[in-house]
Amino acid sequence: MIALDRFSFRYATATEPILREVSLRLPQGAFVLVIGPSGSGKSTFLRTLNGLVPHFYGGHLSGCVRVDGRDPVQAAPKGMADLVGMVFQDPESGFVVDRVEDELAFALENWALPQDVMRKRVEEVLDQLRIAHLRHRPVSTLSGGEKQRVAIASVLTLHPQVLLLDEPTSQLDPQAAEEVLLALRQLNEDLGLTVVLSEHRLERVVQYADFVLYWPGHGQPPLLGTPAEVLRRVPLTPPLITLGKALGWEPLPLTIKEGRRFAQALKERLHLPVVSQPSATVTPANGREAVVVVEKLWHRYTSGSRGAGIEALTGVSLRVHRGEFVALMGRNGSGKTTLLKHLVGLLPPTQGHVRVVGYETSRVSTETLVRHVAYVPQNPERLLFAETVAEELALSRRGHGLPPDPEADRALLARLGLDHCRDSHPHDLSVGEKQRLALAAVLVPDPELILLDEPTRGLDYVQKHILAELLHELRRAGKTVIMATHDVELAAATADRVVLMAEGQIVVDGPARRVMAESLVFASQINKLFRDPRLLTPEDVLAGLGEGRR
Protein backbone atom coordinates (compact mmCIF):
# COMPACT_ATOMS: atom_id res chain seq x y z
CA MET A 1 0.00 0.00 0.00
CA ILE A 2 1.14 3.51 -0.80
CA ALA A 3 0.43 6.17 1.79
CA LEU A 4 1.31 9.84 1.95
CA ASP A 5 0.62 11.77 5.10
CA ARG A 6 0.73 15.58 5.00
CA PHE A 7 3.62 15.31 2.58
CA SER A 8 5.08 18.52 1.18
CA PHE A 9 7.98 18.98 -1.15
CA ARG A 10 9.68 22.02 -2.61
CA TYR A 11 12.53 21.88 -5.13
CA ALA A 12 15.64 23.65 -3.97
CA THR A 13 15.38 26.24 -6.74
CA ALA A 14 11.62 26.85 -6.47
CA THR A 15 9.86 29.34 -4.25
CA GLU A 16 6.55 27.44 -4.01
CA PRO A 17 6.16 23.81 -2.94
CA ILE A 18 5.10 21.55 -5.82
CA LEU A 19 3.39 19.11 -3.45
CA ARG A 20 1.63 20.76 -0.52
CA GLU A 21 0.34 18.83 2.49
CA VAL A 22 -0.67 15.84 0.39
CA SER A 23 -2.41 12.99 2.17
CA LEU A 24 -3.59 10.02 0.16
CA ARG A 25 -3.75 6.24 0.13
CA LEU A 26 -3.49 3.94 -2.89
CA PRO A 27 -4.58 0.34 -2.30
CA GLN A 28 -2.36 -2.59 -3.19
CA GLY A 29 -2.84 -4.12 -6.63
CA ALA A 30 -4.61 -1.08 -8.05
CA PHE A 31 -4.11 0.34 -11.53
CA VAL A 32 -3.80 4.05 -10.87
CA LEU A 33 -3.79 6.61 -13.64
CA VAL A 34 -2.10 9.87 -12.74
CA ILE A 35 -3.20 12.87 -14.78
CA GLY A 36 -2.83 16.62 -14.69
CA PRO A 37 -1.26 19.45 -16.69
CA SER A 38 2.52 19.54 -17.25
CA GLY A 39 4.34 20.82 -14.19
CA SER A 40 1.51 19.95 -11.81
CA GLY A 41 3.62 17.53 -9.82
CA LYS A 42 2.86 14.17 -11.46
CA SER A 43 6.51 13.34 -12.00
CA THR A 44 7.47 14.60 -8.58
CA PHE A 45 4.80 12.41 -7.00
CA LEU A 46 6.03 9.32 -8.84
CA ARG A 47 9.64 10.02 -7.96
CA THR A 48 8.70 10.49 -4.32
CA LEU A 49 7.54 6.89 -4.20
CA ASN A 50 10.95 5.45 -5.01
CA GLY A 51 13.08 8.07 -3.30
CA LEU A 52 14.47 9.81 -6.39
CA VAL A 53 12.78 12.80 -4.76
CA PRO A 54 14.51 14.00 -2.63
CA HIS A 55 17.66 11.88 -3.08
CA PHE A 56 18.34 12.67 -6.70
CA TYR A 57 16.92 16.17 -6.98
CA GLY A 58 17.27 17.70 -3.57
CA GLY A 59 14.80 20.06 -1.94
CA HIS A 60 12.82 20.61 1.22
CA LEU A 61 10.29 18.11 2.44
CA SER A 62 8.01 17.50 5.37
CA GLY A 63 5.42 14.87 6.26
CA CYS A 64 5.80 11.20 5.59
CA VAL A 65 5.65 8.64 2.76
CA ARG A 66 5.33 4.89 3.10
CA VAL A 67 5.41 2.28 0.35
CA ASP A 68 4.56 -1.11 1.78
CA GLY A 69 5.73 0.16 5.14
CA ARG A 70 9.12 1.25 3.80
CA ASP A 71 10.18 4.88 3.87
CA PRO A 72 11.66 5.90 0.49
CA VAL A 73 13.24 8.99 2.01
CA GLN A 74 15.25 6.79 4.30
CA ALA A 75 15.87 3.86 2.00
CA ALA A 76 17.00 5.95 -1.02
CA PRO A 77 16.25 4.82 -4.61
CA LYS A 78 18.75 1.99 -4.62
CA GLY A 79 17.20 0.66 -1.43
CA MET A 80 13.72 0.81 -2.97
CA ALA A 81 14.60 -0.95 -6.21
CA ASP A 82 13.38 -4.35 -5.01
CA LEU A 83 10.04 -2.91 -3.96
CA VAL A 84 9.35 -0.21 -6.51
CA GLY A 85 10.28 -0.38 -10.19
CA MET A 86 10.42 2.84 -12.15
CA VAL A 87 10.12 3.27 -15.92
CA PHE A 88 10.82 6.58 -17.61
CA GLN A 89 9.56 8.52 -20.61
CA ASP A 90 12.42 7.81 -22.95
CA PRO A 91 13.52 4.19 -22.59
CA GLU A 92 16.57 4.65 -24.78
CA SER A 93 18.39 7.04 -22.49
CA GLY A 94 17.94 4.68 -19.55
CA PHE A 95 19.68 1.67 -21.06
CA VAL A 96 23.07 0.80 -19.66
CA VAL A 97 24.23 -2.11 -21.78
CA ASP A 98 23.36 -2.74 -25.37
CA ARG A 99 21.85 -6.20 -25.39
CA VAL A 100 18.33 -6.99 -24.23
CA GLU A 101 19.26 -9.95 -22.05
CA ASP A 102 22.13 -8.10 -20.36
CA GLU A 103 19.90 -5.13 -19.76
CA LEU A 104 17.46 -7.39 -17.92
CA ALA A 105 20.27 -8.82 -15.82
CA PHE A 106 21.65 -5.42 -14.86
CA ALA A 107 19.41 -4.88 -11.83
CA LEU A 108 19.91 -8.48 -10.71
CA GLU A 109 23.67 -8.14 -10.87
CA ASN A 110 23.44 -4.98 -8.81
CA TRP A 111 21.56 -6.93 -6.17
CA ALA A 112 24.20 -9.66 -6.22
CA LEU A 113 21.66 -12.44 -6.70
CA PRO A 114 23.02 -15.94 -7.30
CA GLN A 115 23.30 -17.10 -10.89
CA ASP A 116 20.51 -19.67 -10.88
CA VAL A 117 18.02 -17.14 -9.52
CA MET A 118 19.08 -14.66 -12.16
CA ARG A 119 18.67 -17.13 -14.99
CA LYS A 120 15.20 -18.04 -13.80
CA ARG A 121 14.01 -14.48 -13.37
CA VAL A 122 15.31 -13.32 -16.72
CA GLU A 123 13.52 -16.19 -18.46
CA GLU A 124 10.28 -15.44 -16.58
CA VAL A 125 10.31 -11.77 -17.40
CA LEU A 126 11.12 -12.45 -21.05
CA ASP A 127 7.92 -14.49 -21.19
CA GLN A 128 5.78 -12.13 -19.16
CA LEU A 129 6.45 -9.25 -21.52
CA ARG A 130 6.58 -11.47 -24.61
CA ILE A 131 10.05 -10.33 -25.59
CA ALA A 132 11.81 -13.71 -25.59
CA HIS A 133 12.40 -13.38 -29.33
CA LEU A 134 14.30 -10.14 -28.74
CA ARG A 135 16.69 -11.47 -26.12
CA HIS A 136 19.88 -11.32 -28.19
CA ARG A 137 19.04 -8.12 -30.01
CA PRO A 138 20.95 -4.89 -29.39
CA VAL A 139 18.50 -2.46 -27.81
CA SER A 140 19.27 0.18 -30.40
CA THR A 141 17.65 -1.94 -33.13
CA LEU A 142 14.29 -2.30 -31.38
CA SER A 143 11.12 -0.38 -32.17
CA GLY A 144 9.81 2.17 -29.68
CA GLY A 145 7.23 -0.18 -28.18
CA GLU A 146 9.74 -2.98 -27.88
CA LYS A 147 12.22 -0.69 -26.16
CA GLN A 148 9.66 0.38 -23.61
CA ARG A 149 8.70 -3.23 -22.93
CA VAL A 150 12.36 -4.08 -22.38
CA ALA A 151 12.61 -1.13 -19.98
CA ILE A 152 9.60 -2.47 -18.05
CA ALA A 153 11.08 -5.96 -18.02
CA SER A 154 14.41 -4.64 -16.77
CA VAL A 155 12.80 -3.39 -13.56
CA LEU A 156 10.46 -6.37 -13.12
CA THR A 157 13.35 -8.80 -12.68
CA LEU A 158 13.71 -7.60 -9.08
CA HIS A 159 10.09 -8.65 -8.42
CA PRO A 160 8.84 -5.25 -7.26
CA GLN A 161 5.39 -4.83 -5.72
CA VAL A 162 4.82 -1.48 -7.35
CA LEU A 163 5.53 -0.33 -10.89
CA LEU A 164 5.81 3.40 -11.49
CA LEU A 165 5.69 4.73 -15.04
CA ASP A 166 6.29 8.33 -15.95
CA GLU A 167 4.51 8.99 -19.25
CA PRO A 168 5.83 5.78 -20.75
CA THR A 169 4.01 6.21 -24.06
CA SER A 170 4.51 9.88 -24.75
CA GLN A 171 7.35 9.16 -27.17
CA LEU A 172 5.52 6.34 -28.91
CA ASP A 173 3.13 6.13 -31.82
CA PRO A 174 -0.39 4.83 -31.08
CA GLN A 175 0.30 1.21 -32.03
CA ALA A 176 3.41 1.03 -29.86
CA ALA A 177 1.59 2.78 -27.02
CA GLU A 178 -1.21 0.22 -27.22
CA GLU A 179 1.37 -2.58 -27.06
CA VAL A 180 2.88 -1.16 -23.86
CA LEU A 181 -0.45 -0.41 -22.19
CA LEU A 182 -1.78 -3.89 -22.90
CA ALA A 183 1.36 -5.37 -21.35
CA LEU A 184 0.82 -3.23 -18.27
CA ARG A 185 -2.80 -4.21 -17.90
CA GLN A 186 -1.83 -7.84 -18.11
CA LEU A 187 0.85 -7.45 -15.44
CA ASN A 188 -1.68 -5.74 -13.23
CA GLU A 189 -4.34 -8.41 -13.72
CA ASP A 190 -2.16 -11.51 -13.74
CA LEU A 191 0.38 -10.65 -11.08
CA GLY A 192 -1.52 -8.20 -8.94
CA LEU A 193 1.25 -5.68 -9.49
CA THR A 194 0.34 -2.18 -8.37
CA VAL A 195 0.68 0.06 -11.42
CA VAL A 196 0.95 3.82 -11.05
CA LEU A 197 1.06 5.42 -14.47
CA SER A 198 1.11 9.02 -15.56
CA GLU A 199 -0.29 9.50 -19.03
CA HIS A 200 -1.75 12.14 -21.31
CA ARG A 201 -3.69 9.91 -23.66
CA LEU A 202 -6.63 9.34 -21.37
CA GLU A 203 -8.78 7.81 -24.07
CA ARG A 204 -6.40 4.84 -24.28
CA VAL A 205 -5.84 4.09 -20.62
CA VAL A 206 -8.90 5.22 -18.79
CA GLN A 207 -10.78 1.97 -19.30
CA TYR A 208 -8.01 -0.02 -17.61
CA ALA A 209 -7.68 2.22 -14.56
CA ASP A 210 -9.23 1.45 -11.20
CA PHE A 211 -8.47 4.91 -9.91
CA VAL A 212 -7.59 8.26 -11.37
CA LEU A 213 -5.40 10.66 -9.47
CA TYR A 214 -5.70 14.21 -10.77
CA TRP A 215 -3.11 16.87 -9.95
CA PRO A 216 -4.59 20.30 -10.66
CA GLY A 217 -1.22 22.01 -10.19
CA HIS A 218 -0.28 25.20 -8.31
CA GLY A 219 0.08 23.27 -5.08
CA GLN A 220 -3.62 22.39 -4.94
CA PRO A 221 -4.55 19.06 -3.39
CA PRO A 222 -4.93 16.11 -5.77
CA LEU A 223 -8.23 14.48 -6.57
CA LEU A 224 -8.48 10.70 -6.20
CA GLY A 225 -11.43 8.55 -7.21
CA THR A 226 -12.87 6.21 -9.80
CA PRO A 227 -12.33 7.35 -13.40
CA ALA A 228 -15.91 8.51 -13.88
CA GLU A 229 -15.91 10.49 -10.63
CA VAL A 230 -12.67 12.29 -11.29
CA LEU A 231 -13.09 12.94 -15.01
CA ARG A 232 -16.42 14.62 -14.34
CA ARG A 233 -14.53 17.28 -12.38
CA VAL A 234 -11.53 17.65 -14.65
CA PRO A 235 -11.65 20.57 -17.13
CA LEU A 236 -10.24 19.08 -20.34
CA THR A 237 -10.95 15.49 -21.26
CA PRO A 238 -11.07 13.22 -24.33
CA PRO A 239 -13.82 14.09 -26.84
CA LEU A 240 -16.13 11.26 -25.76
CA ILE A 241 -16.09 12.33 -22.14
CA THR A 242 -16.38 16.00 -23.09
CA LEU A 243 -19.53 15.17 -25.05
CA GLY A 244 -20.84 12.99 -22.25
CA LYS A 245 -20.35 15.76 -19.75
CA ALA A 246 -21.92 18.36 -22.03
CA LEU A 247 -25.02 16.24 -22.52
CA GLY A 248 -25.20 15.01 -18.94
CA TRP A 249 -24.89 11.32 -19.81
CA GLU A 250 -25.14 9.10 -16.71
CA PRO A 251 -23.14 7.06 -15.91
CA LEU A 252 -20.39 8.91 -17.72
CA PRO A 253 -19.24 6.66 -20.58
CA LEU A 254 -15.50 5.93 -20.64
CA THR A 255 -15.35 3.76 -23.74
CA ILE A 256 -16.92 3.88 -27.18
CA LYS A 257 -18.89 0.77 -26.25
CA GLU A 258 -20.44 2.48 -23.26
CA GLY A 259 -21.07 5.63 -25.27
CA ARG A 260 -22.87 3.87 -28.13
CA ARG A 261 -25.95 3.38 -26.00
CA PHE A 262 -26.41 7.12 -25.55
CA ALA A 263 -25.41 7.84 -29.13
CA GLN A 264 -28.15 5.66 -30.60
CA ALA A 265 -30.82 7.55 -28.72
CA LEU A 266 -29.25 10.89 -29.47
CA LYS A 267 -28.85 10.40 -33.19
CA GLU A 268 -32.63 10.53 -33.73
CA ARG A 269 -32.71 13.98 -32.22
CA LEU A 270 -29.83 15.35 -34.26
CA HIS A 271 -30.64 17.60 -37.14
CA LEU A 272 -27.88 17.23 -39.64
CA PRO A 273 -27.55 18.61 -43.13
CA VAL A 274 -29.09 16.05 -45.49
CA VAL A 275 -26.21 15.98 -47.95
CA SER A 276 -22.90 15.22 -46.40
CA GLN A 277 -21.56 18.70 -46.77
CA PRO A 278 -17.86 19.16 -46.47
CA SER A 279 -16.90 21.92 -44.12
CA ALA A 280 -17.17 25.37 -45.67
CA THR A 281 -13.45 25.92 -45.90
CA VAL A 282 -12.95 23.19 -48.47
CA THR A 283 -13.53 24.79 -51.81
CA PRO A 284 -12.61 23.04 -55.03
CA ALA A 285 -8.89 23.19 -55.47
CA ASN A 286 -8.82 24.30 -59.09
CA GLY A 287 -8.28 27.98 -59.56
CA ARG A 288 -6.12 28.21 -56.47
CA GLU A 289 -2.39 28.34 -56.65
CA ALA A 290 -0.52 25.17 -55.75
CA VAL A 291 1.96 25.85 -52.95
CA VAL A 292 3.38 22.35 -52.96
CA VAL A 293 3.86 20.25 -56.07
CA VAL A 294 5.47 16.86 -55.58
CA GLU A 295 5.92 14.76 -58.69
CA LYS A 296 6.81 11.07 -58.65
CA LEU A 297 9.14 11.55 -55.73
CA TRP A 298 11.42 8.68 -54.70
CA HIS A 299 13.74 8.70 -51.79
CA ARG A 300 16.33 6.19 -50.79
CA TYR A 301 18.51 6.83 -47.75
CA THR A 302 22.16 6.59 -48.64
CA SER A 303 24.71 4.88 -46.47
CA GLY A 304 26.06 6.91 -43.62
CA SER A 305 22.65 8.17 -42.58
CA ARG A 306 20.12 6.42 -40.42
CA GLY A 307 18.09 3.74 -42.18
CA ALA A 308 20.71 3.37 -44.90
CA GLY A 309 19.44 1.75 -48.06
CA ILE A 310 15.77 2.05 -47.16
CA GLU A 311 13.41 3.24 -49.85
CA ALA A 312 11.42 5.68 -47.77
CA LEU A 313 9.36 7.14 -50.60
CA THR A 314 8.35 5.25 -53.70
CA GLY A 315 6.72 7.49 -56.26
CA VAL A 316 4.78 10.05 -54.26
CA SER A 317 2.79 12.72 -56.09
CA LEU A 318 0.97 15.39 -54.15
CA ARG A 319 -0.43 18.85 -54.74
CA VAL A 320 -1.35 21.16 -51.91
CA HIS A 321 -3.07 24.46 -52.62
CA ARG A 322 -2.87 27.75 -50.84
CA GLY A 323 -4.85 27.81 -47.62
CA GLU A 324 -5.32 24.06 -47.33
CA PHE A 325 -4.83 22.21 -44.03
CA VAL A 326 -3.51 18.72 -44.71
CA ALA A 327 -3.09 16.00 -42.08
CA LEU A 328 -0.46 13.47 -43.11
CA MET A 329 -1.22 10.20 -41.35
CA GLY A 330 0.04 6.64 -41.32
CA ARG A 331 2.15 4.19 -39.42
CA ASN A 332 5.66 4.93 -38.16
CA GLY A 333 8.09 4.49 -41.00
CA SER A 334 5.48 5.08 -43.69
CA GLY A 335 7.45 8.05 -45.02
CA LYS A 336 5.68 11.02 -43.43
CA THR A 337 8.78 12.64 -41.98
CA THR A 338 10.81 11.94 -45.10
CA LEU A 339 8.16 13.67 -47.20
CA LEU A 340 8.10 16.70 -44.90
CA LYS A 341 11.89 16.95 -45.00
CA HIS A 342 11.74 17.03 -48.78
CA LEU A 343 9.34 19.94 -48.64
CA VAL A 344 11.89 22.05 -46.84
CA GLY A 345 14.87 20.83 -48.83
CA LEU A 346 16.58 18.93 -46.01
CA LEU A 347 16.69 15.89 -48.25
CA PRO A 348 17.44 15.85 -51.97
CA PRO A 349 15.07 13.79 -54.14
CA THR A 350 16.58 10.53 -55.32
CA GLN A 351 14.22 10.79 -58.25
CA GLY A 352 11.33 13.12 -59.11
CA HIS A 353 10.61 16.77 -58.46
CA VAL A 354 9.57 18.85 -55.49
CA ARG A 355 8.40 22.41 -56.05
CA VAL A 356 7.52 24.45 -52.99
CA VAL A 357 6.28 28.07 -53.13
CA GLY A 358 7.67 28.30 -56.63
CA TYR A 359 11.15 26.96 -55.82
CA GLU A 360 12.56 23.71 -57.08
CA THR A 361 13.93 22.38 -53.77
CA SER A 362 16.97 20.74 -55.34
CA ARG A 363 18.07 24.10 -56.74
CA VAL A 364 17.88 26.25 -53.62
CA SER A 365 19.34 25.76 -50.18
CA THR A 366 17.29 25.01 -47.10
CA GLU A 367 18.51 28.29 -45.67
CA THR A 368 16.75 30.17 -48.49
CA LEU A 369 13.66 28.01 -48.42
CA VAL A 370 12.99 28.47 -44.72
CA ARG A 371 12.06 32.10 -45.30
CA HIS A 372 8.93 30.80 -46.99
CA VAL A 373 8.51 27.42 -45.35
CA ALA A 374 8.44 26.85 -41.61
CA TYR A 375 9.25 23.37 -40.36
CA VAL A 376 8.95 22.21 -36.77
CA PRO A 377 10.62 18.80 -36.41
CA GLN A 378 9.41 15.99 -34.20
CA ASN A 379 11.63 17.01 -31.34
CA PRO A 380 11.03 20.77 -31.05
CA GLU A 381 13.63 21.10 -28.33
CA ARG A 382 16.34 20.54 -30.92
CA LEU A 383 15.29 23.75 -32.65
CA LEU A 384 16.02 25.91 -29.63
CA PHE A 385 19.49 27.35 -29.11
CA ALA A 386 19.16 30.63 -27.24
CA GLU A 387 19.43 31.55 -23.58
CA THR A 388 16.00 33.12 -23.26
CA VAL A 389 12.67 32.92 -25.05
CA ALA A 390 12.92 36.48 -26.37
CA GLU A 391 16.49 35.90 -27.53
CA GLU A 392 15.28 32.85 -29.47
CA LEU A 393 13.27 35.04 -31.86
CA ALA A 394 16.09 37.56 -32.20
CA LEU A 395 18.32 34.63 -33.15
CA SER A 396 15.90 33.67 -35.92
CA ARG A 397 15.97 37.20 -37.27
CA ARG A 398 19.74 37.19 -37.34
CA GLY A 399 19.71 33.83 -39.05
CA HIS A 400 17.45 35.13 -41.79
CA GLY A 401 19.46 38.34 -42.05
CA LEU A 402 16.50 40.44 -40.92
CA PRO A 403 16.86 43.60 -38.83
CA PRO A 404 16.01 43.22 -35.11
CA ASP A 405 12.38 44.00 -34.35
CA PRO A 406 11.52 43.49 -30.66
CA GLU A 407 7.99 44.80 -31.16
CA ALA A 408 7.10 42.21 -33.77
CA ASP A 409 8.73 39.50 -31.64
CA ARG A 410 6.69 40.54 -28.65
CA ALA A 411 3.51 40.41 -30.69
CA LEU A 412 4.36 36.96 -32.02
CA LEU A 413 5.05 35.63 -28.53
CA ALA A 414 1.78 37.11 -27.31
CA ARG A 415 -0.08 35.43 -30.16
CA LEU A 416 1.40 32.10 -29.15
CA GLY A 417 0.68 32.64 -25.46
CA LEU A 418 4.33 32.85 -24.48
CA ASP A 419 4.58 36.46 -23.29
CA HIS A 420 4.64 35.41 -19.65
CA CYS A 421 7.92 33.56 -20.06
CA ARG A 422 9.87 35.97 -22.27
CA ASP A 423 12.89 35.84 -19.99
CA SER A 424 12.80 32.15 -19.10
CA HIS A 425 15.37 29.72 -20.41
CA PRO A 426 13.79 27.61 -23.19
CA HIS A 427 14.94 24.49 -21.37
CA ASP A 428 12.73 25.33 -18.39
CA LEU A 429 9.50 25.54 -20.41
CA SER A 430 6.85 22.83 -20.42
CA VAL A 431 6.61 20.52 -23.44
CA GLY A 432 3.71 22.51 -24.86
CA GLU A 433 5.47 25.81 -24.42
CA LYS A 434 8.61 24.45 -26.07
CA GLN A 435 6.50 23.30 -28.98
CA ARG A 436 4.99 26.75 -29.39
CA LEU A 437 8.34 28.48 -28.97
CA ALA A 438 9.81 26.30 -31.72
CA LEU A 439 6.84 27.29 -33.88
CA ALA A 440 7.40 30.96 -33.04
CA ALA A 441 11.08 30.62 -33.94
CA VAL A 442 10.31 29.40 -37.44
CA LEU A 443 7.35 31.78 -37.93
CA VAL A 444 9.58 34.85 -37.62
CA PRO A 445 10.08 35.47 -41.38
CA ASP A 446 6.28 35.10 -41.87
CA PRO A 447 6.40 31.98 -44.07
CA GLU A 448 3.35 30.94 -46.08
CA LEU A 449 3.74 27.19 -45.70
CA ILE A 450 3.93 25.59 -42.27
CA LEU A 451 5.07 22.01 -41.77
CA LEU A 452 4.59 20.27 -38.44
CA ASP A 453 5.92 16.83 -37.51
CA GLU A 454 4.01 15.18 -34.65
CA PRO A 455 3.15 18.45 -32.94
CA THR A 456 1.10 16.87 -30.13
CA ARG A 457 3.68 14.39 -28.91
CA GLY A 458 3.79 14.63 -25.12
CA LEU A 459 1.16 17.39 -24.89
CA ASP A 460 -1.65 17.32 -22.36
CA TYR A 461 -5.23 18.21 -23.31
CA VAL A 462 -4.88 21.86 -22.34
CA GLN A 463 -1.74 22.28 -24.46
CA LYS A 464 -3.31 20.37 -27.33
CA HIS A 465 -6.30 22.63 -27.22
CA ILE A 466 -4.11 25.74 -27.31
CA LEU A 467 -2.18 24.31 -30.25
CA ALA A 468 -5.38 23.51 -32.16
CA GLU A 469 -6.61 27.07 -31.63
CA LEU A 470 -3.31 28.41 -32.87
CA LEU A 471 -3.44 26.28 -35.99
CA HIS A 472 -6.97 27.55 -36.70
CA GLU A 473 -5.67 31.08 -36.41
CA LEU A 474 -2.85 30.40 -38.86
CA ARG A 475 -5.41 29.01 -41.28
CA ARG A 476 -7.52 32.12 -40.99
CA ALA A 477 -4.42 34.16 -41.78
CA GLY A 478 -4.29 32.30 -45.08
CA LYS A 479 -1.37 30.01 -44.32
CA THR A 480 -1.05 26.55 -45.75
CA VAL A 481 -0.43 23.86 -43.16
CA ILE A 482 0.81 20.30 -43.60
CA MET A 483 0.95 18.30 -40.40
CA ALA A 484 2.22 14.76 -39.94
CA THR A 485 0.37 13.30 -36.98
CA HIS A 486 -0.88 10.19 -35.25
CA ASP A 487 -3.36 12.27 -33.34
CA VAL A 488 -6.71 11.48 -34.86
CA GLU A 489 -8.57 13.92 -32.64
CA LEU A 490 -6.31 16.82 -33.60
CA ALA A 491 -6.68 15.97 -37.27
CA ALA A 492 -10.46 15.78 -36.86
CA ALA A 493 -10.52 19.15 -35.15
CA THR A 494 -8.24 21.01 -37.57
CA ALA A 495 -7.60 19.39 -40.95
CA ASP A 496 -9.79 19.58 -44.02
CA ARG A 497 -7.84 17.06 -46.01
CA VAL A 498 -6.29 13.79 -44.92
CA VAL A 499 -3.47 12.06 -46.77
CA LEU A 500 -2.83 8.51 -45.61
CA MET A 501 0.60 7.03 -46.28
CA ALA A 502 1.87 3.45 -46.16
CA GLU A 503 5.23 2.04 -47.18
CA GLY A 504 6.39 5.20 -48.87
CA GLN A 505 3.25 5.72 -50.91
CA ILE A 506 0.06 7.70 -50.66
CA VAL A 507 -2.79 5.29 -50.09
CA VAL A 508 -5.74 7.58 -49.55
CA ASP A 509 -6.10 11.28 -50.24
CA GLY A 510 -9.38 13.08 -49.68
CA PRO A 511 -11.53 15.38 -47.57
CA ALA A 512 -10.95 14.76 -43.88
CA ARG A 513 -14.56 13.89 -43.14
CA ARG A 514 -14.82 11.30 -45.85
CA VAL A 515 -11.46 9.65 -45.14
CA MET A 516 -12.10 9.49 -41.42
CA ALA A 517 -15.61 8.17 -41.69
CA GLU A 518 -14.41 5.39 -43.98
CA SER A 519 -11.49 4.38 -41.79
CA LEU A 520 -11.59 2.27 -38.65
CA VAL A 521 -8.17 3.16 -37.33
CA PHE A 522 -8.01 6.78 -38.36
CA ALA A 523 -11.43 7.76 -37.02
CA SER A 524 -12.03 10.15 -34.17
CA GLN A 525 -13.83 8.99 -31.03
CA ILE A 526 -17.01 10.87 -31.88
CA ASN A 527 -16.94 9.49 -35.37
CA LYS A 528 -16.60 5.96 -34.02
CA LEU A 529 -19.60 6.70 -31.85
CA PHE A 530 -21.90 7.80 -34.65
CA ARG A 531 -20.15 6.50 -37.78
CA ASP A 532 -21.31 9.53 -39.73
CA PRO A 533 -18.99 11.73 -41.80
CA ARG A 534 -20.87 14.78 -40.58
CA LEU A 535 -19.93 14.09 -36.97
CA LEU A 536 -16.23 14.19 -36.13
CA THR A 537 -15.95 16.35 -33.01
CA PRO A 538 -18.11 17.12 -29.96
CA GLU A 539 -18.71 20.54 -31.50
CA ASP A 540 -20.29 18.91 -34.58
CA VAL A 541 -22.71 17.01 -32.37
CA LEU A 542 -23.58 19.98 -30.21
CA ALA A 543 -24.13 22.11 -33.31
CA GLY A 544 -26.51 19.52 -34.73
CA LEU A 545 -28.38 19.46 -31.46
CA GLY A 546 -28.56 23.23 -31.37
CA GLU A 547 -30.23 23.33 -34.76
CA GLY A 548 -32.70 20.73 -33.56
CA ARG A 549 -33.71 22.84 -30.63
CA ARG A 550 -34.33 25.91 -32.70
In whole angstroms, the minimum distance from the beta carbon of 482 to other proteins comes to: 15
Select 402 or 542, whichever has its Cβ closest to other proteins.
402
Run of H or E including 389: helix 389-399
Instruction: Tally helices (H) and strands (E) across the chain.
Output: 21, 19
In whole angstroms, the minimum distance from the beta carbon of 28 to other proteins comes to: 20
In whole angstroms, the minimum distance from the beta carbon of 273 to other proteins comes to: 42
Type of residue found at 129: L
Per-residue b/e over 121-143, b at no fewer than 16 CB within 10 Å? bbeebbebbebeebbebebeebb
Select 96 or 521, whichever has its Cβ closest to other proteins.
96
Site string for other proteins, 427-466 (x = CB under 8 A): x-------------xx--x---------------------
Residues 167-186 that bind other proteins (CB under 8 A): none
In whole angstroms, the minimum distance from the beta carbon of 223 to other proteins comes to: 27
* Dihedral pair phi/psi, residue 123, rounded to 5°: -60, -45
Residues 88-107 that bind other proteins (CB under 8 A): 88, 90, 92-99, 101-102, 105-107
Q: How many residues bind other proteins (CB under 8 A)?
A: 73
Residues 112-151 that bind other proteins (CB under 8 A): 112-115, 118-119, 122, 136-138, 140-141, 151
In whole angstroms, the minimum distance from the beta carbon of 91 to other proteins comes to: 9
Assign residue 66 a region: left if phi > 0, alpha if psi is -120 to 50, beta otherwise?
Answer: beta
* Dihedral pair phi/psi, residue 359, rounded to 5°: -100, 140
- Report whether 459 contacts 432 (CB < 8 A): yes
Site string for other proteins, 56-75 (x = CB under 8 A): x-------------------
Q: Does 346 bind other proteins (CB under 8 A)?
A: yes
Q: Using the rule CB under 8 A, which residue among 77, 174, 219, 417 binds other proteins?
A: 77
CA 219 to chain centre: 25
Select 38 or 50, whichever has its Cβ closest to other proteins.
50
Residues 316-345 that bind other proteins (CB under 8 A): 344
Compute and round to an integer the Cα radius of gyration of the chain.
25
- Report whether 144 contacts 177 (CB < 8 A): no
Count the Cβ atoms, other than its own, within 10 Å of residue 175: 14
Select 11 or 106, whichever has its Cβ closest to other proteins.
106
Residues 362-391 that bind other proteins (CB under 8 A): 365-367, 370-371, 375, 377, 379, 382-386
Select 37 or 377, whichever has its Cβ closest to other proteins.
377
- Report whether 487 contacts 456 (CB < 8 A): yes
Q: Does 82 bind other proteins (CB under 8 A)?
A: yes
- Report whether 29 contacts 194 (CB < 8 A): yes
Nearest alpha carbon to residue 89 among 38, 136, 160: 38
Select 77 or 511, whichever has its Cβ closest to other proteins.
77
Alpha-carbon span 192 to 173, nearest angstrom: 27
- Of 167-175, 394-402, 460-468, 486-494: span binding other proteins (CB under 8 A): 394-402
* Dihedral pair phi/psi, residue 225, rounded to 5°: 180, -175
In whole angstroms, the minimum distance from the beta carbon of 94 to other proteins comes to: 3
Run of H or E including 61: strand 59-67
In whole angstroms, the minimum distance from the beta carbon of 35 to other proteins comes to: 22
Select 108 or 126, whichever has its Cβ closest to other proteins.
108
Select 136 or 550, whichever has its Cβ closest to other proteins.
136
In whole angstroms, the minimum distance from the beta carbon of 158 to other proteins comes to: 7
Peptide bond before residue 377 is cis, with ω within 30 degrees of 0: no
Q: Does 396 bind other proteins (CB under 8 A)?
A: yes
Q: Does 267 bind other proteins (CB under 8 A)?
A: no
Whether the CA torsion 250, 541, 489, 376 is positive or negative: it is negative
Select 263 or 484, whichever has its Cβ closest to other proteins.
484
Alpha-carbon span 437 to 463, nearest angstrom: 13
- Of 108-116, 195-203, 212-220, 539-547: span binding other proteins (CB under 8 A): 108-116
3-state secondary structure of 335: coil
Select 137 or 322, whichever has its Cβ closest to other proteins.
137
End-to-end CA distance of the chain: 54
Select 292 or 541, whichever has its Cβ closest to other proteins.
292
In whole angstroms, the minimum distance from the beta carbon of 316 to other proteins comes to: 21
Select 231 or 418, whichever has its Cβ closest to other proteins.
418
Whether the CA torsion 374, 484, 512, 531 is positive or negative: it is negative
In whole angstroms, the minimum distance from the beta carbon of 110 to other proteins comes to: 4
Q: Which residues pair with 321 in a beta bridge?
A: 290
* Dihedral pair phi/psi, residue 12, rounded to 5°: -60, -35
